[in-house]
A and B are shown apart, each in its own frame.
Chain A
């Protein structure tokens, strides 16, 4: 028999491998909590560890499954899963450092001209049609995009303005001057960035664009980490904000790829949207936010449901923008069932097939 601390340490490691934030502080608390309950009572051990090691509802099923495996009756503990399991590849991952730092050692003017022309092409070309090198270049340009949302007024006050008197500061000044009335101080409402919510379709039909859109989301999360939320939708809803907060785009994308279970699957946009609104949106994430949905609208589920959920979203959000990669192509008409259902509830429908189109998306949300 190993000591309880060892068992618990192994258990915490297994939880971490499963994606639960059971860090060392929590482990220490857990040991302390376990000392205060009856260790022979399975229920009490369960609660003492669950209360200390978990920190969100998503943790609970993982915890339950592992708890059974570790503390289940007559079953030996599972071996600790390796911490450095390989992450699934999102797309061809290329290091861009060489491109950024490598100055052209050949100063031939012709060569520079071609390079400039290439950039021009890169900006307007459909991302799906680019080669691996060109893609890498576009990725670099996207990383430099800083998609920012406008501001909104808050309750919180700051110095300035000329309407609202700042009594505390005025009085403090008066007290300092021994009670002599002095200049009046004022305060005004502060501006804060509006929340930005990105819902990215990662189903099969969106596969050529999913990678680039995720990079766009990464750039948005990087520029305003506290007020940006990113989710992927396909057959289910996955929150990828935390993964996208990683500084390095490649690492962030790999982490997001590992978190999303339904890459290139089907599309059940209506259901995923309902899951988003039930779990996040209605409770406040979408309230007053700028919501960007990136999808081609190839809905395999019920289009009527999608329409209903879009109406709900439109009532909650400040602005709803739909990015459809096919919009930039000639002969596009919003005729897919999903698109038709969503159309009445949109503030804007924009294309997202090229770098220029994405830059346009950034501008649309900045002025939303």
Chain B
């Protein structure tokens, strides 16, 4: 299949918009350049600003399959690349022994005994979008290993040979900044800091996800959440939280944000006890008053 080509950032913006992801100029330009230049895209930003959602939307607009690799401490090549299915190999070995067939060795290392982990999957099923989530959680050895794979766009398996992607996957890396990611990796990537959206964009995004919610309710939530982000909380609510909160309020039958119903559903937006106490007691009355 011919991969879709884009003429410029605004073209990508329209496509993302149609796929249900509302990008600002920065995200659209980043996505366009990542596609046009074949560069990995390195996304950083507070949790819940839509880094993962962007990878999903990119997969949709490029008609590619999304392969996700969640990083964690101690992840290594056999969990990211491929592994041999040893139990099946032994079974096969016994079966072959019983049937007394020759060329035992070669028959053991066939593709069907290979378990493809995310990176190999992404290379085998091109076009694809490879989402490497929370790279900052993995060790630095793993970064070095990734660097090698990204540079080659191929994996060599000693027993099978080299598996190369027809079209290199579009790679999206995300980081929550728990650790400084090595500069060698960053240097290869386009770097984008994903910010919280402004009021108008947030209202539009929430409306996309909870279309049945009352207009006033959506606007109230966006306004309150926007202010809460400036209130110095332990964990400021992201877009994901605005959507969750609006959905919760809508399910509760709210048509506008009132004090009682806001307090009852606060857990959808605020995830720390200290924050909840502060918001409910000090911030909420004042914020709701200003909504009018």
Contact = CB atoms under 8 A, between A and B. Distances in A.
Given A32-B37, A36-B36, A155 B74 contact: yes
Interface string B203-219: 00000000000000000
B37 A33 contact: yes
Given A37-B29, A44-B29, A51-B33, A57 B234 contact: no
29 contacts: A23-B187, A25-B187, A32-B37, A33-B37, A33-B190, A36-B33, A36-B37, A37-B8, A37-B32, A44-B25, A44-B29, A47-B26, A50-B26, A52-B33, A52-B190, A57-B44, A57-B177, A60-B193, A155-B72, A167-B86, A168-B84, A168-B86, A171-B84, A241-B180, A279-B177, A280-B178, A284-B137, A284-B179, A287-B178
Contacts of B42: 55
A51 B190 contact: yes
Q: Classify chain B: how many residues form its interface, as a range.
A: 35 or more
A119 B33 CA distance: 62
Contacts of B72: 155
Given A51-B192, A55-B183, A55-B187, A154 B74 contact: yes
A51 B30 CA distance: 7
A43 interface: yes
Contacts of A21: 183
Interface stretch (A70-78, A94-102, A172-180): A172-180
Interface of A: 21, 23, 25-26, 29, 32-33, 36-38, 43-44, 47-48, 50-52, 54-57, 60, 154-156, 167-168, 171, 174-175, 178-179, 190, 226, 241-242, 278-280, 282-285, 287, 312
A51 B29 contact: yes
B254 interface: no
Contact of A175 (B93, B177, B192, B234): B93
B276 interface: no
Contacts of B133: none
B49 to A, nearest CB: 12
Contacts of A190: 74
Contact of B30 (A26, A47, A171): A47
Contacts of B89: 171, 175
A38 B33 contact: no
Nearest to A53: B191
A193 to B, nearest CB: 12
A174 B191 contact: no
B68 to A, nearest CB: 19
Given A179-B94, A285-B178, A48 B86 contact: no
Contacts of B78: 168
Given A51-B190, A57-B193, A278-B234, A33 B8 contact: no
Contacts of A48: 29, 33
B80 to A, nearest CB: 13
Contacts of B126: none
A37 B234 contact: no
A167 B136 CA distance: 29
Interface in B157-216: 176-180, 183, 186-187, 190-193
B140 to A, nearest CB: 6
A168 B29 contact: no
B90 A171 contact: yes
